[in-house]
Structure 1
Amino acid sequence: MFKLCQFIVMVLTASFSGLAVAGVGAPVSIEAIDSVWSGHTVPFAISTGKDKLYLAYYDANRQLTVAQRPLNAPSHWVYHKLDTWLGWDSHNLIAMALDSSGALHIAANMHVDPLTMFRSDAGGDVRNLRRVPLMVNAAREKAMTYPVFLKNQQGQLIFKYRDGSSGRGNEIYTVYDEKSQTWAALTDSPLVDGEGKRNAYFMGPVKGQDGYFHIAWVWRDSPSAESNHDLSYAKSRDLVHWERADGSALSLPIRLKQAEIVDPVPAGGGMINNNTVIGFDEDGRVIITYHKYDAAGNTQIWLARYEDKRWKLRQISAWSNYRWDFKGTGSLNSEIFVEGARPGKPGQLQVAVTRLGQRLELSVDASTLEGVTEKPVPGVADMFSSYLKLAPGMQINTVEASDSKGKIYRLAWTAQAPHRDLPLTEILPATDLKLFVFNPEKP
């Protein structure tokens, strides 16, 4: 059944994990892993443990597959097939994480669907992954989307997801107890309540230098992408007690009327979910990158930073005759991907944006947030284009992780772009999933 919801799927030109492209150099090894589904793009997953590398993906038959090898022993792969299969929905991303005991947790293939989660024994052998039939609340776990694993300040594994459908959903946080191997609600109520009228689309939590977890989100009133509005923000030290930027407490669940509004962008104002990204300046202050229409109706990139007891908003692009006029439902083949601001040259911040497949580097004044320069730069796709066969209509995708020594592992594959979660009229040939290993970046 076609599910009425819009989702931005990241492509390789704007990598999932946000690891820097520059300065990595050529890969020290390249390895073909498997043949994978290419009918539409959906995010895969990669994780590193103390001594193992893990991959999770949908194979050529759309079956969820997990592979592992020792970090120090390339090609010694173990593969395990799990009993769930992908349809045509680009929302059905894979989330994967290890707890402190080394047990592997995987959540996948859910878009307003019942819980699909697997857990291994301590030590993380993929061959003993087993289904988790229930986390906390069976009634609440019937319509789950956007699974995310993260760790709190104490290193406990946290799992968050959306309960409900687009325009009618709540954000739920749960915490894992390794001793009892059970999940529990992290908070007494959802983080955010759409009151049956809307739901929030989050980016983060992202942990900053200040010890806080920071989140940014938009509110959306319907499954139609253009109904996003009101860029919002909150922070927390423990993922339980939440605050506004000024430190004042937010009671849970956060509703639209109580939320801290960073920019009151109206519905139809050119702002979209998953493109409201948190970054930091050299002083550790939060900066949110997003896009919306300017007065002339052109799409522009904006930055927001809290200073002098208010949110300072600055347009940093100066594009003319360009408007990403997104509308409707289903997974979009997105025209823009934004990344978080980061320190650049002395006195400047850098913001990477991919527009229509071209990666751009925007430099801004670190003090005023005024734009300084904009220039095209090589993207991650440029790095991999000579290693992957790119057939017409296909795009390059990647996901990446690093180990404790700073070595970078990039998983790359090609697939059709998202096409509103609708079936194709033919089954496309499988493509190669390849692993690229890079040495640590030199300071």
Structure 2
Amino acid sequence: MASPSSIGPHVLVLGGNFAGLSSAQRVRQFAGPSVRITVIDRKDYLLFVPNIPADVFEDQDPALRQRMELREVLAKDDIAFVQGEVKAIDVDRKRVEFVPNERPGSETQAIGYDYLVIAVGNRLAYDAIEGFAEFGHTVSDLYHGNRLREYLHRGGYRGGPVAIGSARFHQGNGAKGLQPYPGGSIPDALAACEGPPVEVMLSMATWLGKHGLGGPDKVTVFTPAELIAEDAGETVVKQLLEIASGMGFHYMNKTQDIRRLTADGIEFADGRSVEAELKIIFPDWVAHDFLKGLPICDDMGFVKTDLLMRNPDYPSVFAAGDAAAVTVPKLGAIGHQQTEIVGRQIAKDLGALTAEEADRPLQPVVYCIGDMGGGKAFYIRSNTWYGGDTAVLKMGRMAYFLKMRYRDLFFQTHGKTPDWGLDLAELLAEGHTG
């Protein structure tokens, strides 16, 4: 392919889901028409993962409701799209190898870049959990969501005990020493993201009650960590656990990891087990193989960056979203914060923004809105895990309204939710009771 430098700076974005799409859009927003932007993704649609659980419990097909086609959306901003599987990155030669994957059997191609944004997410390591294929369920994609939907609504589930929780996350050392808040740090997480297990736990109990099959006392939620959803901060988590305990949920912590799933339940690495007919699992999140061993990555294959999302050794390389080592937990809201930083940094390099406008380092905030079923949801805004001072938990119908309307707004604006949207969400959620 032609060298991108011959036709102006080329920004190559790897990944087209939340972090990839937003990175490309932000670069165009801040850098303007002076750059050429290309997005590569193995699929040509964005998957709106956060709302799959609601579809599952409401017996709606998420494949028809939680997809947004990428090609037309990107074309509106003059962003090129390539559907292909990334195979290798050569950061010294500034080139990426990929295989076009519309049809099997394609040859390996290469494309150069002036700036590289790695936003490929990560692998969900269900294949590392013994017994998952036979006995496990989850809500992380369209296939597994529909598989669970069929099991719940078409007679597979017999009404037995339910266990919901996470395998152990292996984080890597790429964020060591970073201080997003004075005196704070990027902590070590034992679970990749535990808003979804809490959401599914609450929704599952509502679904059981709606179908006359019991309630919270039939559900056990478990975590490898000392506290579930530890990234929400101790203040918020203790409130959640007090509420969940009062409702009748069972709770297991410090399970260390999942050893295996069986027809009868789950065996944990710490030697304990739990009986469960239905096992809804959230796996370890691991880096893609093509990232492992690269000089831009940490010991687990996540991309090392500073708090301006730039690799310290290869300043033309950025990362955003789950592929970045600094993204802990692996949470979409943090990835969204990072993509604006990426866009501003590249624009600064090209002279479109000043350092004062661009050099605003990441201060991660956990934003999480989780469906509880029955038209209610929980809302969390917290940064205490990183050394901040904000910890908010709300529950009620307004939080549910915000969760469902955000998806609609995201699709209507093609991912360009207005900057005032977050401020309005905070005002509505935190100023509303019930």
Does the TM-score normalized on the shorter chain lie above 0.5?
no
Q: Counting helix residues as a fraction of each chain, which structure ranks higher? A: 2
* TM-score after normalising by structure 1: 0.30
Greater share of residues in strand: 1
TM-score (normalised: structure 2): 0.30
